[in-house]
Structure 1
Amino acid sequence: MARAQRLLPSGCSFHITLRCNSRQFLIAKTLRRDVLLAVLKKAKQKFAVKVYGLCLMANHLHLLLKPEDPKDLPRLMHWFAWYSAMALNRLSGRCGHFWEARYFSTPIHPKDHRRMLNTLRYIHANPKAAGVRKGFYDPYSNYGHYIRLQSDDISEWSPALCPLACSSWKGPRCLIWGVIPRDTSAESACAVPKGSNNT
């Protein structure tokens, strides 16, 4: 039976889950996670993609990506899985499949701010839910990028947070995080679009 074709709607972000083969704990070690972050940086240079969310767990990873062209997502993920598997197998002296056969992807419409925020919350809550951390902060998640205003050189601030930031902090955070141009007023640029789920 043929595989179901992926939904790749234009303008959408995608929540990606990629699991280690047989759900083994193959990326529990920090060196392996560092390799994954390096491969993700390389993928950003190779493909036109924005990384809004990321969390590396011991046997799987979560990404929230927005490719410039959604049709590039399968190529991007194929390259990421291939390159990271090659590097990690070489590092650990193993051979064979590193990742499960397919990654899971769920499209998120650009105006569905609530779903985007819930997805980010889910991604960042993974270490706490697994009992690895007491709070949300984890060195292999981009939660600190949002909360502590720390750049990780990989991820970008999700535009879904802009209306929330403007209402909570009166706009300056939107300028700090570079979500809107500096010559535009924060309040007008961060206004929630008509018809969005945040009205």
Structure 2
Amino acid sequence: MARLPRLAVPGQPHHLIQRGLNRQAIVTDDHDRQRLLDELRECAATHKVAIHAYVLMDNHLHLLATPETAEGLSRMMQSLGRRYVAAFNKRHSRSGTLWDGRFRAAPIEAGAYLLACMRYVELNPLRSQLAAQPGEYRWSSAAHHLGQRRDPLVFDHALFWATGNTPFERELGWKAWLEQGCSAAEWRVLTEAAQKGWPLGSAGFLLGLAQDTERPLQPRKRGRPAGRKTDSSRGA
């Protein structure tokens, strides 16, 4: 089956996943982690992409980001690959690619899924048992949203600001939201959408996207097309 073109929608949040080649590490120590995030901040600013939430794990990176242009996400990640991978290879005396192919991404309907996707991203370290509390993990946006530090990589989405009238209200509300956790169904939906590139949202959201692209927006149903009948005159 031919690979679908990536769907990138200006002004719409997207959930991105970039994995290491064969699920190998993309960072080996805190020097690598800081270098990757510093490069990401520069690339996001250059290509006009707002990063709303992120988590850097040892072998993959999650981002929740809104591009200003249709090309913004691809250009940001291409630039990150050129800059960070070259530095990583030089430091570790290696060559070749670090990424497992192209990054995966899916646009999401902000009103329905943005806060859920933020929570999903920031709970990754707990799911992998790398931290007991989200804010303890240094390499994610959780501490920023919990008011524990100011993260220059993060550009808060308007929907996050709408969760409270003051920083204290937002931070307290976000702590409670993280403590609720993701259900298994929510985790599966968010993961599969990003990995397979299917936009995530309501029927109306998908209808709006369909007006601007000929790319399929949902998996085709398996089985025989409706209305097609088997020719019973043929032998088995």
Q: Which amino acid aligns with 2:147?
A: R
1:149 positional shift? 5.4
Which of 134, 149, 173 in structure 1 is aligned with 2:167?
173
1:2 positional shift? 4.5
Match of 1:125 in 2: 123
SS of 2:71's equivalent in the other structure is: helix
**1:121-160 alignment runs, 5 A limit:** 121-137=119-135, 138-148=137-147, 150-160=149-159
RMSD value, Cα: 2.3
Q: Assess, with a 3 A threshold, how the Cα gap between structure 1 residues 119 and 9 changes in structure 2: closer, same or farther.
A: same
1:57 positional shift? 0.3
Match of 2:66 in 1: 66
1:62 positional shift? 0.6
Match of 1:54 in 2: 54
Q: Which amino acid aligns with 2:93?
A: G
SS of 2:134's equivalent in the other structure is: coil
Report the count of equivalent residues. Answer: 171
Match of 2:107 in 1: 107
Residues 21 and 99, structure 2, Cα contact 8 Å, conserved in 1: yes
Structure 1: gaps spanning 5 or more residues: 166-170, 178-194
Runs of 4+ in 1 over 4 A off after TM superposition: none
Q: Distance in 2 between matches of 1:52 and 1:116?
A: 9
Match of 1:75 in 2: 75
- What's the TM-score, normalizing by structure 1? 0.78
SS of 2:66's equivalent in the other structure is: strand
Match of 2:222 in 1: none
SS of 2:38's equivalent in the other structure is: helix
CA deviations 1:131-159 (Å, max 9, x no partner) are 11111121100111111152211111121
CA deviations 1:32-79 (Å, max 9, x no partner) are 101101111221332111110111001001111111113322122111
Q: Which amino acid aligns with 1:128?
A: L
**1:13-28 alignment runs, 5 A limit:** 13-28=13-28
SS of 1:66's equivalent in the other structure is: strand
Q: Distance in 1 between matches of 2:30 and 2:111?
A: 33
Among all aligned residue pairs of Structure 1 and Structure 2, give the percentage whose two residues are the same amino acid.
26
Q: Assess, with a 3 A threshold, how the Cα gap between structure 1 residues 4 and 161 changes in structure 2: closer, same or farther.
A: same
Q: Which amino acid aligns with 2:150?
A: S
Residues 20 and 26, structure 1, Cα contact 8 Å, conserved in 2: yes
- What's the TM-score, normalizing by structure 2? 0.67
1:125 positional shift? 0.3
